[in-house]
Structure 1
Amino acid sequence: MSSNDPSDPVRRRNVRVALVAGAGFFVMLGGAYASVPLYRLFCQLTGLDGTVRRADAAPGQVLEKTVTVRFDANVRDVPWKFTAEQTSQQVKIGETKIAFFKVTNTSDKPVTARATYNVVPEQAGAYFQKLQCFCFTDQTIPAGATVEMPVLYFIDPEYASDINTRGKTDVTLSYTFFQTEAQQAAAEPPKRDKAS
């Protein structure tokens, strides 16, 4: 029979096990919440999974080899019309290019959304780099307004020497706009109290 004496070795061991288990639970819970933003950051830094990387400056080298860049525009649960103003561009590897997208808010109120993006083929994600893009921040479009959104990009010259990409002549840059969490919360009808 164990006592409530704090010096009891069995009680101390049980308290220690409970503290370790509780700490482990909170570490795993925090890891679960942090995993999505950390994975997204990792993909942006490495180009993994077709994720485009953000660049600070254009490369100093432009090659004669060209790649056709195609543009894809989508919306998911956002009352917007979103289109690419050009379906494709011929780009020299290392050359800085600008592409334009157009967004029209077809609703009667301002809507805030954020674009996610990826590149196909997946291996090109490490070399497709953006200098300026609307996808890095939330975009709020007034009711009925149309906004033009530029993307300034280049394909890193190392694309031409990588065994996984050097023979690929087509790249597709795809965007999808999603409502932000704050916008979704504002759009949801208020929950009614069950008692009423």
Structure 2
Amino acid sequence: MICQTTGWGGQPIKSAAHASPDSSDPHFDISTRLTPQTQSRRLRITFAGSTSDILPWKFTPQQREVRVLPGETALAFYTATNLSKEEDIIGVATYSVTPAQVAPYFSKIQCFCFEEQRLNKAETVDMPVFFYIDPEFLRDPNMKGIDTITLNYTFFKAKYDKNGHLRPVG
């Protein structure tokens, strides 16, 4: 939560200014952010995925990259396969954005991260992420010269602690 609030470590910020459509603020209008900035250069969004050493899954992006205008929505997919032939496994993904200073402008509308993903033995599933780059990106002098942004997910095997809370392991 600290990373999502501050943008530390390349975590996209979840704030009123960069809220998703289900924002609790009744005055928030996401449509003000979702206007493609046609006078802008297109940004190259690349995708990466990995798993922890103890999670027997294969996890990869389905596309290498997409090119988007700030304010334009994009849909990307990752594929996860449980390589275990003996057990169903629950995984939880974390994500980051690089370069880290872009994180406040990378807004996910829908994503699979931080939620339990249960894959049955030998099961393969597609996982979507729907996102946009906030147009405010263009007004930040620190973003000048940034043309490529990488969205990276890492899956961890999920375990429950003694209090019944889900936590990633390894």
* Contact map agreement 1:115 1:175 (CA 8 A) in 2: yes
Larger Rg: 1
2:60 is matched with which residue: 77, 80, 83? Answer: 83
Map Cα deviations across residues 154-178 of structure 1 (whole Å, 9 max, x no partner).
Answer: 0000111111113200000001001
Match of 1:97 in 2: 74
* Contact map agreement 1:96 1:152 (CA 8 A) in 2: yes
1:43 aligns with 2:3: yes
Match of 1:174 in 2: 152
* Contact map agreement 2:7 2:13 (CA 8 A) in 1: yes
1:71 is matched with which residue: 33, 44, 47? Answer: 47
User: How many residue pairs end up in the alignment?
Assistant: 143
* Contact map agreement 1:102 1:146 (CA 8 A) in 2: yes
Which 5+ residue runs of structure 2 have no aligned equivalent? Answer: 22-29, 162-170
2:101 alignment partner, SS class: helix
- What TM-score, normalized by structure 1, do the two folds share? 0.69
Which 5+ residue runs of structure 1 have no aligned equivalent? Answer: 1-40, 184-196
Match of 1:106 in 2: 83
Greater fraction strand: 2
Letter in 1 for 2:20: D
* Contact map agreement 1:48 1:126 (CA 8 A) in 2: no
Shift of 1:53: 3.2
Greater fraction helix: 1
Q: Is the deviation greater in 59-68 or in 132-141? A: 59-68
